[in-house]
Chain A
Amino acid sequence: MIRKIVFILLLLSTVGVFAAENEFRMSAPNIVSVGDQFSLTLMLNNSGDDLRMPEIENFDVLMGPSVSSSRSIQIINGKTSQSTNYTYTFVLKANKEGTFTISPASIKADRQVIQSNSVQIQVIKGRNQSTQSQQGTSGGNSQSASSAEVGSRDNLFIRFETNKTNVYKGEIIIATFKLYSRVALSVVDQTLPSFEGFWSQDIDLPPAEQTRTQEAVDGIIYQVYTLQKKVLIPQQAGALKIEPAEMVFNVQQRVRSQSVFDDFFGSVQNVQVKAKSDRVNINVKDLPPAPAGFSGAVGKFTLSSTIDKTNIKANEAITINIKIDGTGNLKHINALKFNFPPDFEVYDPKTDYNYSASGAGLSGSTKFEQVFIPRYQGRFSIPAVPFIYFDTDSKSYKTLYTNEFELNVAKGDADQNTTVVSSMSKEDVKYIGKDIRYIKNNDLSLSQKSQSFFGSFGFYFTYILSLLAFAALVVFKRKQLQENANVALMRNKKASKMARKHLNAASVCVKNNNRDEFFDALTRAFWGYLSDKLTLPISELNRENARTTLTEYSVNNATIDEFMQLVDTCEMARFAPTAVHDSIQELYEKGEKVISEFEKQIRKKA
């Protein structure tokens, strides 16, 4: 409420305090009406001479220059500083409408010629000029009447202005709260509207804006004070209303009195006046359909992202800094969500707002500090994260991306590792998402519809084929067996015949008394007979298996012994003819007897 005090001043004073070196300033009201008298002031913070004024056209110079000077000496902690101010004042009168410029004046100070600035003055056609002049004379017939007049809209009103009335949700609106007045007043009370549906923030007014300016409304020139400037950000769509602001002022009013003294000095009375601003309607449009990932940022931004280190050991903390610069609803930007590898330990991001409200809206930056700790060694990649905002200039969504970061995490220190591991000796596998399994890419075999191997001709054919093969095998094998059996039978039948033939040959030898040939023939008769009879090849026959085979054929042992004796004798005779003395006639008879015994005894195998 410093402002209250500041605004108590309501005199036409242009005195400012300038602490610069040599400064020469020209000032005049920026707007006057035709016929008005006003002062043009030139101020120098030093003593000077040789003031040269430019040609002042379009205005009548009624008076001037009148020079006044002020001087101040300050002693602070024994240090003396002094300042001198020289003020040159001209009284001008506007003659015609238009905008006119008064060129710079110059002055000599400290042997230097200093140029002042130029001023621009707008001259308007005054409306109802009489009101001001009447005020003093016929102003207050009664107190209530005068109070109404003094507080009337012509003399005093407040206005609430916004730079836009048709905005998008989240777009910044600058609202200005101005007091227009032509009378001296002081603020008693003010009720500012509650900005329902808006987020609001005061703008610190720069000193230049805190001073008053002149503005013409409907041909009347008002002193205008900017009371407050606010940044408004609509938080919801729809027709939003800003309720009127109310202010109560004390207005000084001259009261006419009977007393001559009063008349002379002017008696002044304070009258309370209420002023109310108009209601402001703001149409807030919803943003167009937002792309996925839009979190409500509206304005104009740039984005930068940095990481403090990329080569680290496991269990060390890393920080990613994100800075979003620009103008817009910086306060409403949510921290960007990084897609960290799943087993990173991620902390909540720290958000740091650093912005200021100014005439342009909110500008500055929002910083996010994201700290995380990789727990395992390896190479990791942190993908770029989009930051989507609504650009109020192009009325479209724009996307900025953070950098993509590659991390190289080395194995952590042993002791750190163990502390981590001991606390969670085994981890469950984290399921991050669930989706169907991927398509089968390798199996490209297709079959005709309603065609399957089962039940097909080929299927049954395989059965039949294998069955036929089996049958053929059985038949073939049977036949072979049969044939084998026939050969045995033949040989069996032939055996006696052959034996007899060999025996006959032997008997011839007996007649001729040819001993060598006799033994040969006899041996052949025996073995040939056995071979045929027992269906064993001659090469496989020897004494042992002959004995076993004969036993199998249930030949009695006496006959076998006799046969063996005969075979032994024959062999002995063949290799040592002198050792055998038996008569061959006897041997022949014995052989005949053995073979006939065999014929009798050899039956089918048991």
Chain B
Amino acid sequence: MKRLVTSIILLLAVVALNAQPAELLKKANELYSANKIQEAITSYESILKQGYESGALYYNLGNAYYKTDDKARAILYFERAKLFIPGDDDVQFNLELANQFVVDKINPLPRPFFVKWGQGIVNSQTANGWAVFSIVTFILLLVGAAGYIFLNSPGLKKISFVAAAVMLVFSLSTFGCASKQKSKITHRNHAIVFSPTVTVKASPDESGTSLFVIHEGVKIEIKEELSGWANIKLEDGNSGWVKKEVFERI
């Protein structure tokens, strides 16, 4: 009980600390509205520098960069926003619009429908959203179990047993989704190319065979890193090595 109290106090303290950056965010939004995009960018960045983040913040910053014609950075921040608010329509819309400015046309590999659906479901909530789902279903599981144990009627007992079993499956799968979303944020193995043009090599050194050329704004997946080089994979399945400084992780 004591622990709970302390954790609640801690939570309140965090909320209190939050007030100041939230104020800053509001001001930055006002700057954006007044068409002072450059100042707005500085404000948004300063919030990030203080160690705060949110989907809306990344989204707004992406918008600001879009307005200054820095499309690659806009894509980067829209992608970041997508990590925090994956189901958001506006983020998706703006990201697609910004992607139209990318020179390279990359056709993603076709994925089986169930993979698509699965990813769609996983992406519909953030890690925290899934975590809450997991807890709620866990509690429902316990309720079901209690029903099974304490109810007298054999019919009700059966129903609560089945319900508990279903809730167990839900709880575990939502926990899985949450950890998947969380790992996306913590590992961040996707990146956006920032150099205007990049030649992808077959091996991690300058003398390697040049495979293909990609341009600013392309989204890549980083598979491994080796002494200043990274093995990357495009959405169309092509892969190769590029120097680490040409991209920025999402």
Chain B interface size, under 10 / 10 to 19 / 20 to 34 / 35 or more: 35 or more
Q: Given A439-B32, A439-B63, answer yes or no on A444-B25 (Cβ-Cβ < 8 Å).
A: yes
CB distance from A431 to the nearest CB of B (A): 13
A446 touches B25 (CB 8 A): yes
Over the window 458-483 of chain A, the binary record of Cβ atoms lying under 8 Å from chain B Cβ atoms (1 yes, 0 no) is 11011101110110011001000000
CB distance from A465 to the nearest CB of B (A): 8
- Is residue A261 within 8 Å, beta carbon to beta carbon, of the partner chain? no
Q: Given A457-B7, A461-B3, answer yes or no on A446-B97 (Cβ-Cβ < 8 Å).
A: no
Q: Which of B83-128 contact A (CB under 8 A)?
A: 90, 93-94, 97-98, 127-128
Q: Which of B38-71 contact A (CB under 8 A)?
A: 47, 51-57, 59-60, 63-64, 66
- Is residue A441 within 8 Å, beta carbon to beta carbon, of the partner chain? yes
B63 touches A438 (CB 8 A): yes
Q: Which residue on chain A has the smallest CB distance to residue B74?
A: A436
Q: Which residue on chain B has the smallest CB distance to residue A438?
A: B63
- Picked from A440, A449, A457, the residue with its CB within 8 Å of the CB of B51 is A449
A446 touches B131 (CB 8 A): no
- Picked from B7, B33, B53, the residue with its CB within 8 Å of the CB of A461 is B7
Query: What DSSP secondary structure best describes chain B's contact surface?
Result: helix
Q: Given A446-B53, A447-B54, answer yes or no on A454-B128 (Cβ-Cβ < 8 Å).
A: yes
B146 touches A470 (CB 8 A): yes
A437 touches B185 (CB 8 A): no
Q: Given A457-B7, A466-B142, answer yes or no on A446-B54 (Cβ-Cβ < 8 Å).
A: yes
B52 touches A446 (CB 8 A): yes
- Picked from B51, B56, B179, the residue with its CB within 8 Å of the CB of A454 is B179
- Is residue B162 within 8 Å, beta carbon to beta carbon, of the partner chain? no
Over the window 340-368 of chain A, the binary record of Cβ atoms lying under 8 Å from chain B Cβ atoms (1 yes, 0 no) is 00000000000000000000000000000
A474 touches B52 (CB 8 A): no
Q: Given A436-B93, A437-B94, A461-B7, answer yes or no on A445-B22 (Cβ-Cβ < 8 Å).
A: yes
Chain A residues near B52 (CB-CB < 8 A): 446-449
Q: Which residue on chain A has the smallest CB distance to residue B149?
A: A474
Chain A residues near B186 (CB-CB < 8 A): 450
- Is residue B132 within 8 Å, beta carbon to beta carbon, of the partner chain? yes
- Is residue B36 within 8 Å, beta carbon to beta carbon, of the partner chain? no
Q: Given A461-B3, A461-B7, A462-B135, answer yes or no on A446-B128 (Cβ-Cβ < 8 Å).
A: no
Tell me, in angstroms, the Cα distance from A458 to B3 when the chains sit together.
10
CB distance from B117 to the nearest CB of A (A): 22
Chain A residues near B66 (CB-CB < 8 A): 436
Q: A437-B63, A447-B53 are in contact. List 4 more A-B contacts (CB 8 A).
A: A439-B60, A450-B186, A466-B135, A477-B150
Binding site for B on A (CB under 8 A): 434-441, 443-450, 452-455, 457-459, 461-463, 465-467, 469-470, 473-474, 477
